Amino acid sequence: ISLHALLYPAESETRQVKSLDGLWHFRLDEQGVGENERWFAQPNLPDPTIFMPVPSSYNDVTQNITIHRHIGWVWYAKDFFLHNTAPRWVLRFQAAHYESRVWVNGHSAVNHSGGHLPFEADITPFISTNKDYSKVHIVVAINNTLTPTTLPPGYLQIHSPSYRELQTPFDFFNYAGIDRSVILYSTSTAYIQDITIDTQRIDYDAQHIATSAVLVYTVTIAGVNPINTIRVLIELLDANGMVVANNTDSHSSLVVTKPNLWEPCGMNYTHPCTEHSYLYTLQVTLYNDSPQMNILDIYRIRHVGIRTIRLTDSKFLVNERPFYFHGANAHEDSDIRGKGFDHVILAKHFNLYGWLHGNSFRTSHYPYADEFYEMADRFGIAIIDETPAVGLSATQFVSQATLDHHKQVTTEMINRDRNHPSVLMWSLANEPESNVPSAKDYFSALANFTRPIAAGRPITYVISAGYNSDQGIQFFDMICINRYFGWYSQSGRLDQIPNLVSEELTNWRHRFPNKPILMSEYGADTVVGLHNDPSFMFTEEYQKDFYTAYHSIFDNFSSLIHPDTGFFVGELPWNMFDFATDQSITRVGGLNRKGLFTRQRQPKAAAFVIKSRYEHLESIN
């Protein structure tokens, strides 16, 4: 398995970072002829082109329905000048959906499949080095067509030449384009390629105050030959910049006495709760092994948290203390931008989790932009990090190509996110058809593959199958279930919810007495401003009553409230925000309206119910 991108591009004394965000030239390639006609080799994309912002999904930026629902290739191009002040330049896409081909000055630089993880290319060979500067022309072709072997999967249904539809086993809109930032960064010839850091152990005194911690790390270096001509210095700095531990081996450990621990706390929404979500900086310096000890490269990870995770039969322990997830699922989705990354949406996301007293979210249903993880580290929000494997079915379970791709994307996600203390668990899939017999071998293989690379986190997948029919979760650490009693089943019958939830949790527990259980989705569509008393489906009253009906039962099984008998470790409503879907008879105005907040991030009545519940849970967590 190959990794398409390693460390997040960070500036330092030895590294420059240049943003290529802004307006790019853009056009559709409805006939799929661009590559044959060598558009990548021409000075400009052929007309007609328009300006398209990067980062953003392209679908909702224009007034053109053809662009909104386009299936197939689109092309982007940008020119810029690069001053050759560094020996090595890397072009990095934080994500582009789905299949990407990148040319730099007419040369093929990188191809990538998959919409939610970064990929990069060393472009030094394609830029002229005999001048002080280079003119660089980047062309990117992107295809959003999903197939049975992409993740997420999909298939193209061709009704007629002018009527094609992408069928998907998920409801969020298949936004596409250069959804995240494009970055150019430099390194020296010899450079730090990758760093991993994990807490191996924390020792406590009788009052459960941490007395010492052991962190294990690895540093991978590239671009040097032979390796013994360089040296490395690893330093751990506290929040005041003081060195608290150091080492000169590239694979070793650091011992920290009286460490400040990181723990998920749910941020106080005006201030990051640094006291609980304490972050250290790992500074790695690469030197020339010469009397001058010239510095070759410096890289800093500014979000190192010291914390451990351990599951018991019935509890999710962080730093050996029970943790209860109370947050909400989300999507990367907003008006106009679609899945496009935006700092405003990012900041609002965390301010709203703070307002709600939420302490966690799942990155349903794909890995989010890096910035979400760094904010979560700072503010003490726990993340369940999910792969884009949503809606796998029997067809996928018998496909070696799907399994291979699933392993690849899992590896890329873990490698990208493993250094974030906020990531507490890996979710490898959402709602697979896990009741078919072929799911057993598939998930057994996936769990065996992932466990050795899981970096101390439990692994799970999110289940829609029944407690007696699921074939795969036996190989995983925790049970995460999505249930819609009172919505998709027992529609309109809030009175049926308590018994059904109770039975459900009891039955799962009976089958798997050694795995804690979390409700990873439950929710009801709600049109903001629609009211009815008594509460009817789609009204704000119904959403409030729906949640309340579940909560009383959760408390009966909660590991927080019943430390000796409880096994239920968390609740994540579906969804934090209304989000875009395809147009259909079940999605009014093209939105899934199960948000506690509208798509514009304003609260519905149920948000206040959840807020007061979470204030209470926070006080006992």
By annotation, the residues acting in catalysis are: 431
We find the least distance from the C-beta atom of residue 524 to ligand GCB, in angstroms, to be 9
Q: How far apart are CA 38 and CA 48, in angstroms?
A: 16
Residues that bind ligand GCB (CB under 6 A): 170-171, 365, 430-431, 464, 482, 521, 574, 592, 594
Q: How far apart are CA 382 and CA 405, in angstroms?
A: 27
We find the least distance from the C-beta atom of residue 588 to ligand GCB, in angstroms, to be 13
CB closer to ligand GCB out of 272 and 432: 432
Q: What is the pairing mode between strands 73-83 and 133-143? A: antiparallel
Question: Can you spell out the DSSP letters for 516-575?
Answer: -EEEEE----B-TT---SS--TBSHHHHHHHHHHHHHHHHHHBTTT-TTT--EEEE--S-
Of 585, 581, 588, the residue nearest 68 (C-alpha): 581
Residue carrying structure tokens 């082109």: 49
Q: SS3 letters for 247-262? A: ECCCEEEEEEECCCCE
We find the least distance from the C-beta atom of residue 519 to ligand GCB, in angstroms, to be 12
We find the least distance from the C-beta atom of residue 429 to ligand GCB, in angstroms, to be 11
We find the least distance from the C-beta atom of residue 266 to ligand GCB, in angstroms, to be 24
Alpha carbon of 12 to those of 190, 217, 249, 621: distances in Å? Answer: 15, 20, 21, 39
We find the least distance from the C-beta atom of residue 551 to ligand GCB, in angstroms, to be 19
Torsions phi, psi for 335 (to 5 deg):
-55, 145
At residue 491, the 3 state secondary structure works out as coil
CB closer to ligand GCB out of 171 and 238: 171
CB closer to ligand GCB out of 195 and 428: 428
Which helix (H) or strand (E) segment is 317 a member of?
strand 316-318
We find the least distance from the C-beta atom of residue 464 to ligand GCB, in angstroms, to be 6
Residue type, 135: K
Burial of 502 (0-12, 13-18, 19+ CB in 10 A): middle
Q: Which two tokens stand for residue 532?
A: 């009815």
CB closer to ligand GCB out of 412 and 521: 521
* Contact between residue 194 and residue 7 where contact means Cβ atoms under 8 Å apart: yes
CB closer to ligand GCB out of 341 and 577: 577
CB closer to ligand GCB out of 430 and 598: 430
- In this structure, is the dihedral angle defined by the CA atoms of residues 529, 580, 411 and 306, taken in order, positive or negative? negative
We find the least distance from the C-beta atom of residue 28 to ligand GCB, in angstroms, to be 28
Residue carrying structure tokens 């020996």: 87
CB closer to ligand GCB out of 154 and 421: 154
CB closer to ligand GCB out of 337 and 594: 594
We find the least distance from the C-beta atom of residue 367 to ligand GCB, in angstroms, to be 16
Residues 4-31: b if buried by 16+ CB within 10 A, e if exposed: bbbbbbeebebbeebebbeebbbbbbee
At residue 581, the 3 state secondary structure works out as strand
Q: How far apart are CA 32 and CA 616, in angstroms?
A: 56
Q: Which two tokens stand for residue 527?
A: 């049109």
Q: How far apart are CA 111 and CA 416, in angstroms?
A: 18
CB closer to ligand GCB out of 559 and 592: 592
Of 417, 419, 428, 490, the residue nearest 459 (C-alpha): 428
Neighbours of 172 (CB within 10 A): 22
Residue type, 453: I
